[in-house]
Amino acid sequence: MANATELPNPFTPLAFLPPALAGQLEVARYLYAATFGAYVWDIAVNLGNDYVLLFKHRIGFPTIVYFLSRACTLAFILTRLVFAAFAPVQNCDALQLCFGICLILTQTTTAMLFFVRVTAVWYPSKVAYGVFSVLWLAVLGAGITLPLGIRGAHIGYTMQCIDTAVPAYTQVGLIMPLINDTAIFFAINYRILVHTVVADSFVARLRAFFGGRGLSALSRALLQSGQHFYLVVVFTHVAQIAVVRQTYPRPAYHVMLAVPGFFPD
């Protein structure tokens, strides 16, 4: 680390980092800022629907979980943005712990939304309820590895933070949600295609899967929204796992994709 007296601007955080690592941190900051902007835009676009859901309908368990998921995700993104971007932080590990807790809450509340969806589609199957209950608990347990493992530290003499350690075992916190989402995706698609497609043929089911043809409006919405969510999950989680498994990228890249990766539907 360079001596502060040798630097023209000793309190600029990036001045204390090697050029490659400083570039990684800047890319990560841009991604966090873009994700925050996209999420705020998503909240604004859905504000009318959320108002109707909250004040015009009876509030049930799914509604509570939905708004918890929205709030936890916003806290998750903001915590990461504060950690990596602009705010002075007294204790980097404490803020990192807050980030990890918000990540767990985001994971579990979003997983609970899809648990409600898959158990409703498979109602009244007790086997489906039991299997997906176990998977939800596994997502919760795996997510605990993230706040336990990820560490941060101040950049040089400044009060801004950077990730310093992302252990390999934190991959469990990425793999388990992917397994859960995959199981839910196939379970819902199987139920819809087998029980709601009138024509009993492979071609009819293939058309329904890719275009929603022959399905009711509700079944089409369940199918297509699940497909959109699953495509995002697969892309971001597989990319995140691949980055974490590499030894060359610094922790700034290891954590970077977690923010858009846990962006709920």
pLDDT tens, N- to C-terminus, the chain (265 residues):
455 556 566 667 777 888 878 888 888 888 888 889 989 999 999 999 999 999 988 999 999 999 999 999 999 998 888 887 667 788 888 888 888 899 899 999 999 999 999 999 899 999 999 999 999 999 999 999 888 888 888 888 888 888 887 787 888 888 899 899 999 999 988 888 777 655 566 666 677 767 666 677 777 777 777 777 777 777 777 777 777 666 555 566 667 767 776 654 4
Give the single-character DSSP code of 89.
-
Q: What pLDDT does 26 receive?
A: 85
Report d(CA 233, CA 178) in Å as an integer.
Answer: 7
Angle at the Cα of 93 from the Cα atoms of 87 and 9, rounded to 5 degrees: 45
Between helix 172-196 and helix 92-121 the angle, nearest 10°, is 20
Residue with tokens 């994971």: 107
Report d(CA 122, CA 189) in Å as an integer.
Answer: 11
CATH number of 18-261: 1.20.1070
Pair of tokens at residue 161: 């933070």
Q: What pLDDT does 224 receive?
A: 77
Q: What pLDDT does 22 receive?
A: 81
- Reduce the secondary structure of 194-245 to three states and give it as a string: HHHCCCCCHHHHHHHHHHCCCCCHHHHHHHHHHHHHHHHHHHHHHHHHHHHH
Report d(CA 150, CA 161) in Å as an integer.
Answer: 13
User: Based on the number of CB atoms within 10 Å of its own CB, is 204 exposed (0-12), middle (13-18) or buried (19 or more)?
Assistant: middle
Sorted by sequence, the CB contacts under 8 Å of residue 158 that are 6+ apart come out as: 11, 12, 13, 16, 88
Report d(CA 82, CA 161) in Å as an integer.
Answer: 9
Q: What pLDDT does 217 receive?
A: 73
* Region of residue 99 (left: phi > 0; alpha: psi -120 to 50; beta: else): alpha
Report d(CA 2, CA 158) in Å as an integer.
Answer: 13
Angle at the Cα of 146 from the Cα atoms of 141 and 149, rounded to 5 degrees: 120
Q: What pLDDT does 229 receive?
A: 77
- Domain positions in the chain: 18-261
Beta bridge partners of 161: 154
DSSP secondary structure of 60-75: -HHHHHHHHHHHHHHH
Q: What pLDDT does 10 receive?
A: 62
Q: How many CB atoms lie within 10 A of CB 126?
A: 10
Does the predicted model carry a pTM greater than 0.85?
Answer: no
